Amino acid sequence: MAILPILCYPDPRLHKVAQPVTMVDDRVRALLDDMFATMYDAKGIGLAATQVDVHERIVVIDVSEERNAPLVLINPEILWASEETRVGEEGCLSVPGIYDGVERALAVRVRALDAQGQEQVIEAEGLLAVCIQHEMDHLMGKVFVEYLSPLKRGRIKTKLLKQQKQQQPQAVRA
């Protein structure tokens, strides 16, 4: 298993729409292992393939305290979302250190393939429902900060670009 680099906002690759997985094979299962390793290493609860620059409809999630309830969603689609919504604080591995309120459905029903390519239907509420919606947004090329006002989004973009610039090694002048 490898720890994959996570793309950071405002990287334009985060806005690519992911393509459906045509076959769940050893390549996809190896990617799932790498995605779980990456998510756990980064202390996240969800990761979309888009975030590791793989533009396929693949999501891994584990919202358990013990980090022992891995969930795989391949080609996920929301079948139903509750009309009742709630604004909750969200963060994102691709937007490090930034948290803000996003309105999401309280419950969802999702159909997806598992790691063996078997269809599953998942009923989710609370944190799991929020996480599924957040990660599925990534598959559509949408980052959670896009729910925020243009002013907030601009400030976040400026802050993250400044941080990225400071982290790059400076050229040595002779």
Binding residues for Fe cation: 92, 134, 138
Please give the structure tokens belonging to residue 163.
């941080």
Report whether 106 contacts 83 (CB < 8 A). Answer: no
Q: What is the DSSP annotation of 52-113?
A: GT--BSEEEE---TTS---EEEEEEEEEEE-S-EEEEEEEETTEEEEEEEEEEESEEEEEEE
Report whether 90 contacts 130 (CB < 8 A). Answer: yes
Closest CA to 138 of 15, 43, 26: 15
Residues classed as catalytic:
135
- Secondary structure class of 36 (helix, strand, coil): helix
Cα 139 from chain centroid?
8
For the chain, helix, strand, coil in percent to 5 are: 35, 30, 35
